[in-house]
Amino acid sequence: MDNRVFNVNGSGTDLLLMALKLAFSQEGYGEKTAVSWAQTEEHGLILCWTEGEELNSLPASLSAEQCLPMVETWLKSEFANCVQMSKWCGNADHDGHNSDGWQVYVENWGHVGVAGYRAICGIKPAYMWHGK
């Protein structure tokens, strides 16, 4: 669909898998598989359902479940530490505390950065805000 909207933040493996499964299911008919990826400091890790010149091919087509270990490893990477967090996901100074998490999202028209329409979703590190 052309008007896809998706933006979930959270923490933990179980919720991340649910977010990935929903993102993979939302992109077209039936569940898509990731066949390529890209990463940028602005958009984080981008999983894609088709190949493109600016994308890195995966060794095999991967389901949401199969992408989960890769995504979790990427979130702990040095590159992920350089990714610009979204406005509502940064390390906010408030009267509570923050914990590590993630954001799974798409941008306008369901695109993400350099991958454009090929994107299943983008993934960024995020902070979860906890009040007093």
Q: What is the pLDDT of residues 44-57, one digit of tens each?
A: 999 999 999 999 99
| 85-112: pLDDT as tens digits | 888 776 656 666 677 899 999 999 889 9
Provide the 3-class DSSP secondary structure of residue 17. Answer: helix
Tell me which amino acid residue 100 is.
D
Please report, for the chain, the start and end positions of each structural domain, with discontinuous segments joined by +: 7-127
Give the residue with greater pLDDT, 29 vs 105. Answer: 105
pTM recorded for the entire structure: 0.91
pLDDT over 90, % of the chain: 71
CA distances from 69 to 4, 93, 122 (A): 25, 31, 15
